[in-house]
Structure 1
Amino acid sequence: MAAMYLATPPTGGSLESLQPRGLNSRTVSLWRTWKRLSRCQRSICYMIITVLAVIVLYSYMMRDEAMRIPDLTQYDPKAPEMPLSAVLDDDTRQKKALNKVERVHNAIQVPVDEKQNMAQEAVDDYHGDDDDNEGVDAPEENGNDSNQAGEDKDDDDPHNGQQAKSLKFEGPQNERQKAVVEAFQHAWKGYRTYAWGHDHLRPISKSAQNWFGLGLTIVDSLDTMWIMNLQSEFREARDWVESTLDFGVNKDVNFFETTIRVLGGLLGAFHLSGDAMFVDKAKDLGDRLMGAFSSPTGIPYSDVNLRSSRGHVPQWSSDSSTSEVSTIQLEFRDLSRCTGINTYEDAAENVSKKIHDLPKTEGLVPIFINANTGKFRAQSTITLGARGDSYYEYLLKQWIQTGKTQEYLKQDYVTSIQGMNHRLAKRTVPNNLLYFGEILSGGRSFKPKMDELTCFLPGTLALGVHNGLSKDHLVIAEELAYTCYLTFARQPTHLAAEITYFNSDSASQMDFYVKSNDAHYLLRPETIEGLYYLYYFTGNTTYQDWGWKIFQGIEKYTKVRNGYTTIGNVKNAVDIRPKDMMESYFLGETLKYLYLLFADRHEIDLDRWVFNTEAHPLPIRSY
């Protein structure tokens, strides 16, 4: 610790007398000055020096602790998982639930810092002031801090566009985030080399795959690159969007997938970068997609031709998927706010209102709906997995996006959670794990099957609690997240199958199993998404550790020379059967949620932003 120099000159001293005259004289002067101090003044100095020393020591210890992370090379997929006793209490389920709620909320009920980060102020033009939020507050150790460095304005930079206002991020803060960025760069290098401008990379055959021919991987990755502060990669992708991405192609595309990946990707990139070029592109696409709403009922058709803007039913069915027609509202509402054209929001909101008026099973909806009649398909499955999942997600997120002004959305969401608990929630034998099954044949039979897609639900439930809904939902979220994690942890690859079956028979020796035809892992993000929300709102670092284990499984079993690939068999670590496909959502969602999960300070303020179902951030607005 350097000696403290007191700036009070001796009485009558000249300017010359105060100049340094060598080390010895300065030391003598300091010593004389120190001797002139009273005992009280010396005590104060000692106290200040002691406090500074403690602060320096504490900062050093915290930095050292943050650097202690698991060694990727030492990962052992056969290592024992977290003991069940860490989550399941030995007492009754009621006592366990009450204890968990009390424990979690006692740990995290602290005030949210009212001082907003400068970076978040860059979006005030879009969403106005925040409403007060009730429920689960961010933990004090994480705060509601954002890692965003602030807003940026550079009129000489053509990439800032007309808005000339952007959010800046600092880049990776720790070794785990650095590992995720390296994974993104590895995947991006393979895509850029072998599939540039195409939808997906086939990393093993060094080739490309086209679904819609819209450069899905590029558009899906834009805001991920911005959040990771990969500016050179972002600029190259941005320039491709401006110069090459053309929506005037004679191509039939899936309305839902194009909305969440491309329209959502363009809007997310605009809100983070401030580049108005992305809004121009989004408007062009939105105008073409509006043809999907041309059905007699306004319920959108599943497919739409981009050149003619003509919507139509898919070749395989006369119906649309319920989740698909009800998971386009965030994007079209935001497009209206960005352009000032209400037509987009009106068309999409009309769909939600029509579904609101339809009869349901305790708030639960069948997975097919007919665009021409506006009715659900009779006898169709009710599930929280494929074709049903994001209907429930967007009930909550629309309510949040609209400043909690659309009460019917909140009520439909709350009712659906009650219906899930009553009709779909079951427990396994022997370890009493929570899962959500499916209702078949219009409610006549129950199937103990859960898709990996269902693991979006813990994150949605936690988000609802943070926004003032029942704290009981957090108990469900934590238990289901644990089950979802175990579907990863109990496989030798530490990766989850696409579909898992659960045992409820009293003679069962294992909680769940995977059929051979369902054993593929498609680089999906849903479990990681749930872990991110739970960590964000509870501060429990166990969720980060679980995510790190999953990431190690991804690194060990899906990483190949030129990217990452889906695999066909999670049940055998020596026979994983690579499928030679890297979906765009791996960069747009999976790696993004991993990066956000591992942040020391939150990268995105969830009181100001809402993620669409493809993990593209859109601003929350006051209405």
Structure 2
Amino acid sequence: MVLASRRAEVKEAFVKSWKSYKNVGFGYDEVMPVSGVGRDVPGFGGWGATLIDSLSTLWIMDLKDDFYEAAAAAVTIDYSKTRDTSCNYFETTIRHLGGLLGAYDLSKETALLEKAVELGDMLYMAYDTPNRMPGFWLDFRDAKTGKQLAGNHDPSAAVASSSLEFTRLTQLTGDNKYYDAINRVTQVLDDWQNRTSLPGMWPTFFDLRRILLDYDNSYTLGALADSLYEYLPKTFALLGGLEPVHPTKQTFCFRETSGSTARDRA
């Protein structure tokens, strides 16, 4: 009874929020909390982040009518049209590509997978740099002219948290290029994991232009780095434990009250 009651309250809260978005912000990235109007977030492309991000939740909560209405709108998004000159590669990957793939895995609606492939091919261009490392921004003009460079001070989470989406896209399409792209970043993480000033962990910021992961001495499991660590066990599970690199990344320097660390125990 307690579980059912809590589940009902969560669903009620979501439905209230979704109705607000549907009524005043449908198709926008978000709804402003005070003015109550729809708004596109700079760097998000104006492609309806909340619309895509909510698809899997709509399905899981059995709001199928709303799901199909939102999915129908999602597959009409034209990712080639935006007022922005670049998009946030990380946010577009986790919200749009991840949202489309999650919705497809739940519903098996092929139009969602086709849209995911379309977007995946665009985001794949983020790896078209001299050393095949992505940057924080996917600059559309630089991508067209082959002038992209990896960043030299990018949050580690932003450039190393695409393994789930790109791996799953390869699994669903059979096209290895997506996995190959993200696996190059994984190999860099593996190479540097025990060479940083806090062996076992990576610093908050990366210089992927020179592939130097030891110039920054700040560390965190919070914002700017969180999803880097979050994705490792999830990718390990997605690959069924078959990728030998990922098991080596399941131990980090988490300090216990005794003063020992996961690395000490490994």
Q: Distance in 2 between matches of 1:224 and 1:375?
A: 39
Instruction: Give 1:389 deviation, angstroms.
Output: 1.5
Q: CA deviation at 1:403?
A: 0.9
Summarize the Cα distance change of 1:226–1:321 in structure 2 as closer, same or farther, 3 Å threshold.
same
The number of residue pairs the alignment matches comes to 253
Structure 1: which 4+ aligned runs deviate by more than 3 Å? 305-314
The aligned amino acid for 1:329 is S
Matches of 1:321 and 1:395, distance apart in 2: 16
Which residue in the other structure is 2:179 paired with? 345
Counterpart of 1:407 in 2: which secondary structure? coil
Q: Distance in 1 between matches of 2:56 and 2:223?
A: 25
The letter for the 2-side match of 1:232 is D
SS in 2 for 1:420: coil
State the secondary structure of the residue aligned to 1:283: helix
Match of 1:393 among 230, 233, 242: 230
Does structure 1 retain, via aligned residues, the 8 Å contact 2:149–2:209?
Answer: no
> What are the Cα deviations for residues 130-170 of structure 1, in whole angstroms up to 9, with x where unaligned?
xxxxxxxxxxxxxxxxxxxxxxxxxxxxxxxxxxxxxxxxx
Match of 2:138 among 292, 298, 304: 304
Amino acid at match of 1:248: S
Which of these residues, 215, 224, 247, is aligned with residue 57 of structure 2? 224
Kept in 2: contact 1:296–1:371 (CA 8 A)? no
| From 162, 181, 191, the counterpart of 2:11 | 181
* Comparing 263-272 and 182-191, the one that deviates more: 182-191
* Whole-Å separation in 2 of the counterparts to 1:339 and 1:392: 26
Distance (Å, rounded) in 1 between the aligned partners of 2:101 and 2:141: 21
Q: 1:174 to 1:205 in 2, by over 3 A?
A: same
Q: Tell me, yes or no, if the aligned pair for 1:296 and 1:373 is still in contact at 8 Å.
A: no
Letter in 2 for 1:300: P
* Structure 1 residue 186 displacement after superposition: 0.6
Q: Give the number of the structure with larger relative contact order, counting CA–CA contacts within 8 Å between residues 6 or more apart.
A: 1
Q: Give the corresponding residue for 1:248.
A: 80
Does the 8 Å CA contact 1:253/1:303 hold for their aligned counterparts? yes
1:190 aligned residue: 20
Letter in 2 for 1:342: N
After TM superposition, the structure 1 = structure 2 runs for residues 120-519 of structure 1, keeping only pairs within 5 Å, are 174-211=4-41, 212=44, 213-243=46-76, 245-250=77-82, 251=84, 252-305=86-139, 309=143, 312=148, 318-358=152-192, 359-360=195-196, 361-376=198-213, 378-414=215-251, 416=252, 419-421=253-255
1:200 Cα deviation (Å)?
0.5
Q: Deviations along 1:209-267, whole A, 9 cap, x unmatched?
A: 21221101110000101000001111110111123x11012431111111111100000
The 8 Å contact of residues 288 and 306 in structure 1, kept in 2 or not, is answered as no
Spell out the pairing of 1:594-613 with structure 2 (5 A cutoff).
none
SS of the equivalent of 2:233 reads: helix
**Counterpart residue identity of residue 216, structure 1:** A
User: How far off its partner does 1:426 sit?
Assistant: 6.3
**Uncovered stretches (5+) of structure 1, i.e. residues with no partner:** 1-65, 70-172, 428-433, 437-460, 462-471, 474-623
Q: Percent identity?
A: 32
TM-score (norm 2): 0.87
CA distance, structure 2, for counterparts of residue 368 and residue 350 of structure 1: 18
Contact 1:290 1:309 in 2 (8 A): no
Go from structure 1 to structure 2 and tell me whether the alpha carbon gap of 1:216 and 1:329 turns closer, same or farther (over 3 Å shift).
Answer: same
Q: Does the CA-based 8 Å contact 1:264-1:331 persist in structure 2?
A: yes
What is the CA-CA distance between 1:313 and the residue it aligns to?
6.4
Q: CA RMSD in A?
A: 2.6
Q: Is the 8 A contact 2:24 2:38 kept in 1?
A: yes
- Mapped partners of 2:92, 2:131: distance in 1: 21
Kindly provide the amino acid, as one letter, of the partner of residue 400 in structure 1: A
| Rg (Cα) greater in structure | 1
Mapped partners of 1:219, 1:330: distance in 2: 17
Tell me the distance in 1 between the aligned counterparts of 2:141 and 2:61: 35
* Cα displacement (A) at 1:377: 5.3
Please tell me the residue identity of whatever aligns with 1:228.
M
Please give the secondary structure, in 1, of the residue aligned with 2:87.
Answer: strand
Q: Distance in 2 between matches of 1:303 and 1:270?
A: 26
Deviations 1:420-459 (A, max 9, x none): 22xxx569xxxxxx9x9xxxxxxxxxxxxxxxxxxxxxxx
Partner amino acid, structure 1, of 2:39: Q
- In the superposition, the TM-score normalised over structure 1's length comes to 0.38
**Aligned-partner Cα distance in 1 for 2:223–2:214:** 16
**Counting strand residues as a fraction of each chain, which structure ranks higher?**
1
Flag structure 2 segments of 5+ consecutive residues without an equivalent: none
Aligned residue type for 1:287 = D
Whether the aligned pair in 1 keeps the contact of 2:130 and 2:149 (CA below 8 Å) is no
Conserved in 2, the CA contact under 8 Å of 1:303 and 1:312? no
